[in-house]
Amino acid sequence: MKKMMLAFCLVILSALLLGACGSKDSGAAEGNGEVKEFTIDATNFEFDLKEIKVNKGDTVKVTLKNTEGNHAVKFDGYNQEVQGDKTISFVADKTGEFKYECSIFCGAGHSDMVGKLIVE
């Protein structure tokens, strides 16, 4: 009985390991357009980049640099958020205008930390 249980566990483990081999997951889906890279510099209470414009299908790569304070950027409509000194990427698969805003309360001017992602 123990040998059968051990053999069964080895088969399951082997299947899991083989299923993971060759997996190519970069953390973001790839679009059929170009890769567009942007850096947003955040200070208390402003983003230096107020507008990001891309085409539908482009991969959007955003780096947030916290020059002053602690901030994060959330992209409405895309369920994406980047925190200070990190980078995210996502495919712009919906057309329209989408607000992005600071998602960490940072003081009296917090509500002024907004921008617009335009996907054409």
Arithmetic mean of pLDDT over the chain: 83
Q: Is pLDDT larger for residue 53 or for residue 21?
A: 53
pTM: 0.73
Q: Which residues contact 83 (CB under 8 A, 6 or more apart)?
A: 64, 71, 72, 104
- Edge to edge, the sheet with strand 80-83 lists 51-54, 114-119, 96-102, 72-75, 80-83
pLDDT band of 18, cuts 50, 70, 90: very low
pLDDT band of 2, cuts 50, 70, 90: low
Provide the residue type at 12 as one letter: I
